[in-house]
Amino acid sequence: MARFESKIFGIDLGTTNTLVSYYDEIAKRGECCESKEGGSLTPSAVYFETADSYIVGRDAKDTAILYPDRTALYFKRLMGETKEAIDIGGTVYSPQQLSAFVLKKVVEDANEELEENIKDVVITVPAYFTSAAKQATKEAGVIAGLNVRDIIDEPCAALYHIDSIQDLSGKRVMIFDLGGGTLDLIAAEIRDNEINEIAIGGDTRLGGKDWDSMLQKSIRDRYLDGRTLRPDDEQDFENDVERTKISLTGKKESRFVLRNDAEKIQVKVTRAEFESCTKPLLDKVRKTVQMFMDELAERGISGFDKIIMVGGASRMPQINTMIRGMFPDTELLQKDCDEAVAKGAAVYAKRIAQKAKRFSVRQSFTPKKLNRISARSYGIAALLGDYGEKKICNMIFKSADLPASVSKKFYTSIDNQKKVNISVYETTATERYAELDDRMLLGNCELHIEGELPRRSEIIVDFNLRQDGTLTVEGREPKGKTSVRAVMESRALLNADELIEQKNTVNKLIMKE
Ligand code: AMP
């Protein structure tokens, strides 16, 4: 039997690390590919060595302090928020392009190892990512020349991995995924042939990186007395702090030498000190989990059969202790923290391959069907009554089953109105009307009306939230002489021309080892 037959591969495109995976027909589970640098993790870092060449991975990450203006890190946090992540000599790269550089590198390494030509992939995204961020991830895949067959929530992918090594049928589980940049929570019920998502929560700006920053600050305050470090000393310092954080998972204290030019300072950090200086972050995690449980309690759900903990940062002992304290009677399962998401993406990819039947995939094991829900609510800004307050009128609600399609009638507010601005918002509100908040603006849809229409003429707004959590919005004026339509545009997403242009720019650059 061939080691892999499913020609759809998994990619965990992480804030800190990226991994490629395949479904191993012999082991009957997902496996990760090796990067050329060794190990399965490739740091999600891009260093622009010149205007025409770039380096991805460990070497790029290590140059971040020496050449901060030429190195891009943590750009996953910008996905769906902006088209402009870094300016290299007048060329502005989007978060999608930076992600594409990483995708190209990890796929090239995997191609070499597997002697393949990977094209079809499933990419994982944080469950709590916005719709625009999910769409931007698909765009990154396109720019990298990949055929993104689906995107799947990271915790769900982890669930597929765990379910492939121990059947979870009949269990209600929570997946707690604390990675380098994000905290993701999913509650799911697992049936014989199905995984049903029941709640999604988390914080897209809370991850291991934040523990690094707080520990750095505490050490600077204690040992540096306001002095700044030379760039290469700073680079070593940041790496040493992350290593210290990691070693404090197994040890009670850790030491390293802080170099500042000719000066050498012996730094000692105990686990108690680390936990004390990062306590606000632990409190943030507790609050997020509590909010998630409160939401479930409103729906009559109060506990789980199992909690699955994944993501590198979930290894920190204080996280484990906190979760044990919050769920004293629930079994915790911590397995394959770094690779579970990637491996599970390969299991899910096998399901897609089987469903498509385009590939000669054996039918011996069929991964479960995934029934998804919406992580957010979606609506448009509307006036309540003729002269009422402007609010967000939600059309699709958080936790709605996906795919979801909703059409709703709105009305023009003046005679002969020529333009209708449909502003689309994405929130966590669960009620029909929510307060306007421009930070939640997802995009706009501008409808130009031909002819003369009386006030209170109908405008139809169609929302279509796909299985993968990406949204399309259309506005229509159905009764005028010529019916017009407009599709939503977002400040952070690329139109067809921009996609081609950005792909060409990426392809022009040479990837260096
Ligand atoms: P991930 O996004 O799942 O790859 O997680 C990466 C994050 O996990 C980084 O912030 C790492 O520093 C952190 N991490 C990895 N291993 C450990 C460990 N043993 N203890 C604490 N943090 C860790």
Question: Quick check: 55 and 512 in contact, CB under 8 A?
Answer: yes
* C-alpha count within 13 angstroms, C-beta hemisphere, residue 388: 11
Does ligand 1 have an atom closer than 6 angstroms to the CB of 443?
A: no
SS (H, E, C) 59-77: HHHHCCCCCHHHEECCHHH
Secondary-structure percent of the chain, ordered helix, strand, coil, rounded to 5: 30, 35, 35
Could you read off the pLDDT of 248-272 as tens digits, one per residue? 999 999 999 999 888 899 999 999 9
Atom 1, ligand 1: which residue's CA is nearest? 179
Give the type of residue at 26: I
Contact partners, residue 500, CB within 8 Å, separation at least 6:
none
Work out the average pLDDT over 232-237: 89
| Closest among 61, 66, 65, 68 to 46, alpha carbons compared | 61
Ligand 1 probe mutation, 246, 252, 319, most atoms within 8 A of CB: 246
Least confident of 308-317, 339-348, 358-367, 502-511: 358-367
CA end-to-end span of the chain, whole Å?
34
Cis peptide bond upstream of 155, omega within 30: no
CA–centroid distance, 246 to ligand 1, in Å, is 7
The alpha carbon of 137 and the centre of ligand 1 are apart by a number of angstroms equal to 22
Kindly give the distance from the C-alpha atom of residue 305 to the centroid of ligand 1, in angstroms, as a whole number.
Answer: 26
CA distances from 308 to 10, 168, 194, 331 (A): 20, 11, 18, 9
Residue 450 in this model has a pLDDT that exceeds 90:
no
Q: Which pair of tokens denotes residue 354?
A: 């089987």
pLDDT for 123 equals 98
Whether 246 is in the pocket of ligand 1, judged by its Cβ within 6 Å, is: yes
Residue 1 has what pLDDT?
Answer: 54
d(C-alpha 365, C-alpha 128), whole Å: 30
Contact 506, 104 (CB under 8 A): yes
Rounded to the nearest 10 degrees, how much is the dihedral formed by the CA atoms of 57, 62, 64, 70? -60
Amino acid at the residue 415 = D
Looking at residue 287, what is its pLDDT?
A: 98
**Ligand 1 atom with the shortest distance to the CA of 338:** 3
pLDDT over threshold 60, residue 391: yes
Which residues, listed in sequence order, are joined to residue 173 by a DSSP beta bridge? 188, 306
Q: Quick one: pLDDT at residue 254?
A: 97
pLDDT of residue 483: 61
pLDDT of 386 reads 64
Probe target for ligand 1 pocket from 338, 339, 341, with the most ligand atoms within 8 Å of CB: 338
Distances in whole angstroms, Cα of residue 493 to Cα of each of 94, 150, 476: 10, 18, 22
| Average pLDDT for 379-388 | 81
Beta bridge partners of 19: 12
- Residue 32 tokens, joined: 């990760």
Helix (H) or strand (E) holding 107: helix 95-114
- Is 309's C-beta closer than 6 angstroms to any atom of ligand 1? no
**Cα-to-centroid distance, 313 and ligand 1 (Å):** 4
User: Which helix (DSSP H) or strand (DSSP E) does residue 260 occupy?
Assistant: strand 253-260
Phi first, then psi, for residue 401 (nearest 5°) are -65, 140
What six digits make up the tokens of 50?
Answer: 């010149």
Q: Comparing 153-157, 185-189, 345-349, 481-485, which segment has the lowest mean pLDDT? A: 481-485
pLDDT beyond 90 at 148: yes
CA-nearest residue, atom 14 of ligand 1: 312
Atom of ligand 1 nearest to the CA of 182: 2
